[in-house]
Amino acid sequence: MRKNIVAGNWKMNMNQEQTAQLIADLKEAMPSNDASVMIAPTFVNLAKAVELTEGTNIEVIAQNMHFEASGAYTGEISADMLKSIGIQTVILGHSERRAYFGETDEILAKKVKAALDNGMQVVFCFGEELDERKSGEHFNVVESQLKNALFELPASAWSQIVLAYEPVWAIGTGETASADQAQEMHAFIRKTIAAQYSNEVADQVSVLYGGSVKPNNASEIFSKPDVDGGLIGGASLNAEDFSGIAVAFS
């Protein structure tokens, strides 16, 4: 079901002590409104974070996972391992995974399938690079990312998908897509899903925006009709900033 979501991707930040402190700060600071709150600490701190958020409305999610169930894949983590410590949602397709770790649409399609087969929810990230935006290719790029990784899924699987449109040029750069640029792309994403599936599927999927969202720009971006919240990097590492973004839904 479509809902407002504010999700924090902590990336490779925060040791265990810092994780505990940030969660304690978030428990104090987060507003109570209708937005779902997710945080994605690094793998080694997930179990601790699950324990520390018990009884709160903060969901702890993973930043990645492997598509195989088990076996000789040194350094990798499976869906079953995540579920066994209480993780129900995984981020897949982040641009840093694509750029630094060679994750292709084909690999991502396998990861999405593995997560869904395990009953998990997926926050699927995608978005164009700067040169693709400048050359006017951004709609084509986004369409093919969606098509290659997600359009083999049956319509019923889409209740387990959250989309995060993240223009790569806006991630960690301080440069944000304007609220109108975000709305334009989010409307295009829904139109593309409606054409492949149905208006019903397109209308029920939450589509988050990611890319330098801060307390001072969140309200304007989130006020757009096709923007259902944000995937937040840098600003999710500070309780005041993250709660200042979540307040945009109040």
Given the residues 59, 103, 128, 166, the one annotated as active site? 166
3 alpha carbon, distance to own chain's centre: 13
By beta-carbon proximity to ligand PEP, the closer residue of 119 and 172 is: 172
Smallest separation, CB 126 to ligand PEP (Å): 11
Q: At what angle do helices 16-29 and 239-246 cross, to 10 degrees?
A: 40
Among candidate residues 66, 94, 138, 186, the one labeled active-site is: 94
Give catalytic status of residue 94 as yes or no: yes
Number of Cα atoms under 13 Å in the Cβ half of residue 158:
23
Residues that bind ligand PEP (CB under 6 A): 9, 166, 171-172, 210-213, 231-235
Which residues partner with 91 through β-bridges? 123
The CB-nearest residue to ligand PEP is: 233
Q: How far apart, in Å, are the Cα atoms of 66 and each of 23, 62, 77, 113, 237?
A: 26, 11, 6, 11, 25
Least distance from ligand PEP to the Cβ atom of residue 102, Å: 18
Nearer to ligand PEP, 31 or 215 (CB): 215
Q: How far is the CB of 210 from ligand PEP (least distance, A)?
A: 3
Cα distances (Å, whole numbers) of residue 137 to 11, 40, 125, 194: 28, 31, 18, 21
E strands, 147-205, are: 161-165
166 tagged catalytic: yes
Nearer to ligand PEP, 38 or 171 (CB): 171
Closer Cβ to ligand PEP, 8 or 249, answer by number = 8
The residues carrying an active-site annotation are 94, 166
